[in-house]
Amino acid sequence: MNASIIMDAFDEREPIVRDEIQDVLKIKNINTLNQMVSYLVSFGILKRYENGIYYVPSSTKKFSHLKPSLKDVIDKKYLQKNQGIRTGSYLLYKYKFTSQVSSFYEILSNNVSIHTRSKHLYDGKVVVSHPPFEINIENGHVLEFLELIKYLDYSDYNMEKSKSQLLNILDSLGLKIEEIIHYSEYYKGKRYAGFRETVRKVVYDEVTSK
Question: For residues 85 and 143, is the Cβ–Cβ distance under 8 A?
Answer: yes
How high is the pLDDT of residue 210? 46
Beta bridge partners, 128, equal 107, 119
Asked whether the predicted pLDDT for residue 208 surpasses 60, the reply is: no
Distances (CA, A) of 92 to 76, 151, 153, 196: 22, 8, 10, 19
- Quick one: how far is CA 182 from the chain centroid? 22
Q: What is the pLDDT of residue 119?
A: 87
Q: Which residues neighbour 54 within 8 Å (Cβ) at sequence distance 6 or greater?
A: 15, 16, 17, 18, 21, 37, 40, 41, 46, 47, 48
- What lies within 8 Å, CB to CB, of 101 at 6+ separation is 93
Percentage of the chain lying above the pLDDT 90 cut: 88
What pLDDT digit, counting tens, does each position of 27-82 carry? 999 999 999 999 999 999 999 999 999 999 999 989 989 999 999 999 999 999 99
Query: Residue 169: its pLDDT value, please?
Result: 97
Paired strand residues for 17: 53
Q: Is the pLDDT of residue 26 over 60?
A: yes
Instruction: Output DSSP code: residue 93.
Output: H
**Residue 207 has what pLDDT?**
55
Dihedral of alpha carbons 96, 97, 99, 103, sign: negative
End-to-end CA, the chain: 66
The model's confidence at residue 117, banded by pLDDT at 50, 70 and 90, is: confident
CA distance 41 to 55: 10
DSSP 32-43: HHHHHHHHHHHT
CATH (residue range 2-57): 1.10.10
What are the residue boundaries of the structural domains of the chain, listed by start?
2-57, 70-203
Tell me 57's DSSP state: P
